[in-house]
Amino acid sequence: MTTDTNEQEDSMSTVNPTRAPHPDVRTGPKTPEGRVGAGLFDPKQLVTSLPDAFRKLDPRVMIKSPVMFVVLVGSIVTTVLAIKDPGDWFGWVIAAWLWLTVVFANLAEAVAEGRGKAQADTLRKAKTDTVARRLLRDGTSEERVPGTELRVGDLVVCEAGDVIPGDGDVVEGVASVDESAITGESAPVIRESGGDRSAVTGGTKVLSDRIVIKITTRPGETFIDRMINLVEGAARQKTPNEIALNILLASLTIVFLLAVVTLKPFAIYAGADKQTSLIVLTALLVCLIPTTIGALLSAIGIAGMDRLVQRNVLAMSGRAVEAAGDVSTLLLDKTGTITLGNRQAAGFVPVRGATEAELADAAQLSSLADETPEGRSVVVLAKEKYGLRERHQGELAHAEWIGFTAQTRMSGVDVDGHRIRKGAVGSVIAWVREQGGSVAEDADGIANRISEAGGTPLLVAVEDEVGARVLGVIHLKDVVKDGMRERFEQLRRMGIKTVMITGDNPLTAKAIAEEAGVDDFLAEATPEDKMALIKREQAGGKLVAMTGDGTNDAPALAQADVGVAMNTGTSAAKEAGNMVDLDSNPTKLIEIVEIGKQLLITRGALTTFSIANDVAKYFAIIPAMFAVAYPSLDKLNIMGLASPESAILSAVIFNALIIIALVPLALRGVQYRPMSADRMLRRNLGIYGLGGLVAPFVGIKIIDLLISLIPGIR
């Protein structure tokens, strides 16, 4: 088997060649976006979440959300007042709807957490009490110990059929591993010592061969343990933006609390004491404080992490998801992310005195024994473009196949008196001259033009009865994935700068960057170069995201604001990053940014709706409270509500129901569209600001009409 990539090393000044993806790399989300909200009102899910909603009524839990804690206190106060006056139906109804408001808010969070707990239960099944075969100090003897007794640095042996007892790195051997319990993907993956596919996870199963694993994590702190805590929300911490918004909501609550308290003296002075009972004032306070966003804020954060989990991305913290929404620079590996990762034959360029058909025939013959993607592409191109029938090694049993070696940097075949060689430009030219042949004057020129265009030239030469001579050049091209230019243009409209990272030489990197449409590139990249680039971007006030899988990527992953480590990568990479892509699909970084932006937009949109919502409810309650004392205020009763009691009750009911109505939006998220910040602000104000003003007028009026039909209320 030959390796065309190595054959042309003399035409590449690569310091750290970019790694090509392994066949176990899987792409695409396992779950469609529509599933996020599809099961929201599944009766089974609601029944499962309802007990959690009631358990969250614990004041020690509610105090974490100041807005909803005030509603809880209001519910208790109105209930006590209703008990003191059992005949006051108004007090009982207000108390009941305030309790429903609190329960609905808790239900939103419980439903969001419920899906994470369902996945956590699945992960728990992957945790088994395994018996480990620990190597003794002599390196040959083994002892069987419970997996819980393993310590960091222990060496354990796993063979076909064994369950891996803990997280670690393969230090000896290569094996096929079943990771379906973690990724949901049934296809086995390859794990081997050295390189960037050495990490294994406890609870996965070895399907073939024998490997020796060095344990890197203590029991109880394994990858699965962390996944369980994170996906069920147990380890979720509030993000800086979420904390800031909580402070804002608490401040607004205090302001409205002071405003409502001062209404009582004014009401006594105006002779409207009966209209401003403690129950009415409590109802007013609950309707004026931002209960909608206060109830949904936690669910929005949980749902953001849940959307990542559905795409098989594990965020180690909510801060990472939030940071993804503010990213302004993306660092992307070229190979496997922007390009397909395998160079493909794009054309045959003959030198003067040779024909394309002659070159294509020789190139195909020399590639029949080459099972690399590059070699297969040469065979296919000759067949499709030049009509050459694809021949097989079996038909050429008498042929002598020349394998690639690092010394010769060539491969080829000797058949029917012909000696054909294919390989690096300098090596093939030297071979031709050793055979006493001549090299066409334009051979070097053709090879240089292909290199300058970002391609890789491979020379093809033949020795026959005419003599040794160069026939021409195979143009290998790193193929850019379909749609990448459009994706980068989309990111550009989002205000995100894209930087391609590659080990290729600057000429090749420049050509690929121009074809793909990225904003900038870093060629011949070393770990130090990546780190320096990230620091420069951050020094300019930008947030940076990058992907990586190797130990040499760990420093840059740790430095980046959003570091996405591939699950196929090393333990060092996964420890350094703040996200792990279980599918090991580098292009998913773009989706992660979109999910982060969707989280921020959803939070902003619902905050806008909530505040606008409160303004509208003001016009329902205030006129109802003071219209008797100040008849002129009746002009503010623009909805024409039936009575003060009906107006207040309608506002409280609407305040509770709107939370339930917005839960699907909070969990699914506001649809993200790439646009400028100004345009996005105008859109949110137009849809959610105006919607927040109009919805209460319509909703409260409809509820008032229904209430007025009940005898004794009008």
CB 282 within 8 A of CB 78: yes
CA atoms of 487 and 481, how far apart (whole Å): 11
Exposure string (b/e) for 384-403, b if CB count within 10 Å is 16 or more? eeeebeebeeeebeebebbe
Check whether 79 is labelled as a binding-site residue: no
Structure tokens at 162: 């064994």
Check whether 553 is labelled as a binding-site residue: yes
CA atoms of 441 and 447, how far apart (whole Å): 11
Start-to-end Cα distance in the chain: 90
Check whether 374 is labelled as a binding-site residue: yes
CB 545 within 8 A of CB 534: no
Structure tokens at 291: 């209960």
Check whether 579 is labelled as a binding-site residue: no
Residue type, 318: G
**Residue 313: strand pairing partners:** 581
Check whether 121 is labelled as a binding-site residue: no
CA atoms of 421 and 414, how far apart (whole Å): 9
In the block, tokens 């509500």 appear at 641
Exposed (0-12), middle (13-18) or buried (19+): which is 200, by Cβ within 10 Å? buried
Check whether 549 is labelled as a binding-site residue: yes
Q: Are strands 329-333 and 497-501 parallel, antiparallel or unpaired?
A: parallel
DSSP-derived 3-state class of residue 137: coil
Check whether 370 is labelled as a binding-site residue: yes
605 contact partners, CB below 8 Å, separation of at least 6: 670, 684, 687, 688
Check whether 408 is labelled as a binding-site residue: yes
Exposure string (b/e) for 422-448, b if CB count within 10 Å is 16 or more? bbbbbbbbebbeeeebebbebbbebbe
Q: Which of 178, 196, 306, 333 is catalytic?
A: 333
Check whether 358 is labelled as a binding-site residue: no
Check whether 311 is labelled as a binding-site residue: no
CB 297 within 8 A of CB 242: yes
Check whether 588 is labelled as a binding-site residue: no
CA atoms of 132 and 5, how far apart (whole Å): 41
CA atoms of 307 and 303, how far apart (whole Å): 6
Indicate if 333 belongs to the active site.
Answer: yes
Structure tokens at 714: 């009008």
Check whether 406 is labelled as a binding-site residue: yes
**Residue 562: strand pairing partners:** 545
Check whether 407 is labelled as a binding-site residue: yes
What is the CA 472 to chain-centroid distance, rounded? 46
Query: What residues form the annotated binding site for Mg(2+)?
Result: 549, 553
Q: Which residues are catalytic?
A: 333
Query: What residues form the annotated binding site for ATP?
Result: 370, 374, 404-411, 422
